[in-house]
Amino acid sequence: MAQPTPTVRPDDFDSFWDDILDAVESLPLNATMERLPLRSSPEVDVYEVHYDSLDGVRIAGWYCLPVRRDGPLPALLQLPGYLQDPPIPKAVARDGYAAFSVAPRGKVRSRTQFDPGYPGLLTHNITDRNTYTYRGFYIDAVRAFDFLRNRPEVRPDRIGLTGSSQGGGLAIAVAGLRGKDVRAASAGAPYLCGFMDAIRLTRTYPYQEIGDYLRTFPDSAPAVRATLGYFDGICFGPRISCPIIVNLGLRDNICPPETGYSLFDAIGSPDKKLYPYDGCGHDAGRADHDSVVCAFFAKHLKGEEGESDVA
Amino acid sequence: MSPDAAVDPTPRPGDFDTYWSAVLKELGELPAAVAAEKIPLRSNEFSTTYGLRFTSIGPYRLFAYLSVPVGEGPFPTLIYLARYASTVEVIPQGDADEKRGRFAVLSLAARGQRNADHPWTAPFPGLLTEGIDDPRGYVFRGIVADCCRAVDVALSLPEVDESRLALLGANDLPLLTAALRPAASHAIATPDLFHRALERAAHTQAYPLEELNDYLRLFPDRRSKVAATLAYFDPIFFAPKVRATTLLWGEEPECESLSRALAGPSQLRPSEKSRYKDGLFQEEWLSRGLGFEDAILPAHWRD
């Protein structure tokens, strides 16, 4: 399944992102939290959160805390799929984590200042790395991580990342951008990895948005390729140092598994494990893999050793 | 008595037929006023894509993507009804784009969804309980009307083959729509929103049904009102009027009575927990049903 990828890591990839991280470092989060009685339960307190991100865009998220807690909590940042409306992560909080589910720019509740739409978000300003959608989108996810890291009820050294599809791609990006501050990450069916391979390997949305764009503006191909190099999860791979698990569906019709293999090869962490699921599509074996993810985070964030097959 | 009344704890509202007749009457008195605009970016060598705007009850202006195959019609048509999410795509994520060269595809943005979110934006979560205290004000009264309107609009297009019209959606709406707009020849549904909603909500903490639990936790005295409203939307009460050939995704025994109650031919199929296996089955079922020997599959589903 693994095959050579044409994804080329730009020579200035690290400096591009380090400059952006430096720029946002001085921006205060100005986070607000409002407890929502409608969504809270006897077991879980639910808060609606807003904070500032790149370009002054206000970002929303759901924050869930177990009502009963003793001392600082391990935390999980839950990252959303491309079309997914970020869910309220009550189940994660019931499992003993501080859980944050972020809505990066353009999603419901984070779209008043930036809203290229669906379809459309994937190609918005795709010929310019300095204004491309995912420059801000990735930083919104990084700032969600920072939100958790700054919470007094959270253990800052026990924060994990989890997501599937675009959520998997965002987990890769945040793990690369926050490096050693991330304790563990799980990426399922990662999107945003091997963009240019994906549009060759499959003709399905959402990658098809790029195909549509290149068909309409064929002269833009070099600029598109150049921009995407700065946002490709494969290029973030060498910056990842935390324990990480990646699960793929070998019949994935949305995020081709070939791109997942290329990503996995590029991940720099020595503590990495790949879970390929035959006979599975974009679910990437979720029905079986959920227990692996639970055990993985229990080990790395809670310090529990289980019997499950974990990295 | 309904054949399922002994099994289903929710009684059929006495004015069920009157309620829906009033909705359809309201819809019938309102011109759809369809306006179409070509979308070159989403058109390709085998299909042309349009953005449609049309009016449903309220009055409320809706949106739909319409993709029409290049060549001589009419074409078998797929109508993707409102899914429980804010976004709507030209064709569902993961479907082979080449399908748009075989089928006309209409993807509805119901009220509150993207491109139909002015003046009102649907909350997610929150849509399931919007106005739920009163069946006349419940948001899904309008959304079901929106689905019916999408069928009306499709049937008004010369490119649409009226004899091969499939309603699709990963919830109950295809069943409700097929009952109210019996022109549909096929339907694919997953009755996980309204079928025995309160009963199932009591056994889950997962959204969207958790919205009902949230609401009743905060407003416990409204349970009877909520139950009364939801009864107008349970597909079990629409089933005797669903004549379309139906693929029902669901488990036995939860959906067995619903499957049996459908008037047309139906197949109840449990998920194999694999989007590949389920997707492959659905594509082949639908293609055969609409008269094709083969299904157009995405690259990674082909042998």
ipTM (interface predicted TM): 0.94
Per-residue pLDDT at A87 exceeds 80? yes
Phi-psi domain of A30 (left: phi exceeds 0; alpha: psi -120 through 50; beta: other)? left
For residues B247-273, give the mean pLDDT: 96
| C-alpha distance from residue A286 to each of A189, A305, B49 (Å) | 10, 21, 34
Look at residue B303 in the predicted model and tell me its pLDDT: 87
A124 included as an active-site residue: no
- Provide DSSP, A37-84: TTT--SSEEEEEEEEE-GGG-EEEEEEEEESS--S-EEEEEEE--SSP
Q: Which residue in the set A90, A118, A204 is minimally distant from B96, CB to CB?
A: A204
Tell me whether B299 touches chain A (CB under 8 Å).
yes
**Count of CB atoms situated within 10 Å of the CB of B101:** 17
Tell me whether B214 touches chain A (CB under 8 Å).
yes
CB A85 within 8 A of CB B127: no
What is the spatial distance between Cα A120 and Cα A130, in angstroms, rounded to a whole number?
17
Amino acid residing at A255: C
Report whether the peptide linkage leading into residue A89 is cis, meaning its omega lies within 30 degrees of zero: no
B15-49 core/surface letters (b: 16 or more CB in 10 A; e: else): ebeeebeebeebbeebebebeeeebebbbbeebbb
Tell me whether B120 touches chain A (CB under 8 Å).
no
Q: Which residue in the set B44, B85, B301 is minimally distant from A215, CB to CB?
A: B44
pLDDT in tens, B27-46: 999 999 999 999 999 999 99
- Our measurement of the distance from residue B267's CA atom to the centroid of its chain's CA atoms, rounded to an integer in Å, reads 17
Structure tokens at B92: 């569902």
B276/A253 touch (CB, cutoff 8 Å), yes or no: yes
What is the spatial distance between Cα A275 and Cα A264, in angstroms, rounded to a whole number?
10
Domain boundaries, chain A: 19-301
Per-residue pLDDT at B216 exceeds 90? yes
A94/B205 touch (CB, cutoff 8 Å), yes or no: yes
Domain boundaries, chain B: 16-289
**Count of CB atoms situated within 10 Å of the CB of A155:** 18
Per-residue pLDDT at B227 exceeds 70? yes
The three-class DSSP label of residue B40 is helix
Element (H, E) at B266: strand B266-269
Look at residue A16 in the predicted model and tell me its pLDDT: 98
Q: Which residues of A touch B (CB under 8 A)?
A: 37-39, 41, 82-85, 87-88, 90-91, 94, 107-108, 117-119, 201-206, 208, 211-213, 215-216, 249-254, 256-257, 279-283, 286-287
CB < 8 Å to B124, chain A: 85, 108
Residues A23/A28/A34/A40 CA torsion (nearest 10 deg): 50
What is the spatial distance between Cα B114 and Cα B117, in angstroms, rounded to a whole number?
5
pLDDT in tens, B194-208: 999 999 999 999 999
Which of A48, A62, A85 is best to mutate for the B interface (most B CBs within 10 A)? A85
Look at residue B7 in the predicted model and tell me its pLDDT: 41
CB A29 within 8 A of CB A147: yes
B85/A252 touch (CB, cutoff 8 Å), yes or no: no
Confidence at A101, pLDDT banded by 50, 70, 90 = very high
What is the spatial distance between Cα B39 and Cα A189, in angstroms, rounded to a whole number?
30
Look at residue A195 in the predicted model and tell me its pLDDT: 97
Task: Write down the catalytic residue from A50, A282, A289, A300.
Answer: A282
| C-alpha distance from residue B255 to each of B180, B183, B192, B248 (Å) | 21, 24, 10, 8
- Our measurement of the distance from residue A293's CA atom to the centroid of its chain's CA atoms, rounded to an integer in Å, reads 15
CB A128 within 8 A of CB A71: no
What is the spatial distance between Cα B189 and Cα B200, in angstroms, rounded to a whole number?
17
pLDDT in tens, A57-78: 999 999 999 999 999 999 999 9
Structure tokens at B75: 């074409």
- CATH T-level fold of B16-289: Rossmann fold (3.40.50)
B89/A283 touch (CB, cutoff 8 Å), yes or no: no
The three-class DSSP label of residue A99 is strand
A279/B274 touch (CB, cutoff 8 Å), yes or no: yes
pLDDT in tens, A196-232: 999 999 999 999 999 999 999 999 999 999 999 999 9
pLDDT in tens, B55-85: 999 999 999 999 999 999 999 999 999 999 9
CATH superfamily, domain A19-301, is: Alpha/Beta hydrolase fold, catalytic domain (3.40.50.1820)
DSSP conformational letter for B82: P
Cβ within 8 Å of residue A81, ≥6 positions away: A163, A164, A165, A166, A167, A191
| Distance between B122 CA and the closest CA of chain A, angstroms | 9
CB B210 within 8 A of CB A89: no
Residues paired with residue A65 on neighbouring β-strands, in sequence order:
A45
What is the spatial distance between Cα A118 and Cα A283, in angstroms, rounded to a whole number?
21
A252 included as an active-site residue: yes
Tell me whether B210 touches chain A (CB under 8 Å).
yes
Report whether the peptide linkage leading into residue A119 is cis, meaning its omega lies within 30 degrees of zero: yes
For residues A273-297, give the mean pLDDT: 98
Strands across the sheet containing A98-103: A32-35, A44-52, A58-66, A98-103, A73-79, A154-164, A184-188, A244-249, A272-277
Look at residue A306 in the predicted model and tell me its pLDDT: 64
**Count of CB atoms situated within 10 Å of the CB of B157:** 20
pLDDT in tens, A106-146: 999 999 999 999 999 999 999 999 999 999 999 999 999 99
Residues paired with residue B105 on neighbouring β-strands, in sequence order:
B67, B78
A249/B207 touch (CB, cutoff 8 Å), yes or no: no
What is the spatial distance between Cα B214 and Cα B216, in angstroms, rounded to a whole number?
6
Residues paired with residue A277 on neighbouring β-strands, in sequence order:
A249
Residues B163/B167/B173/B175 CA torsion (nearest 10 deg): 50
Task: Write down the catalytic residue from A45, A140, A232, A252.
Answer: A252
For residues A291-298, give the mean pLDDT: 98
Which of A82, A208, A215, A261 is best to mutate for the B interface (most B CBs within 10 A)? A208
Tally: H helices and E strands in chain A: 10, 9
The three-class DSSP label of residue A213 is helix
For residues B129-134, give the mean pLDDT: 98
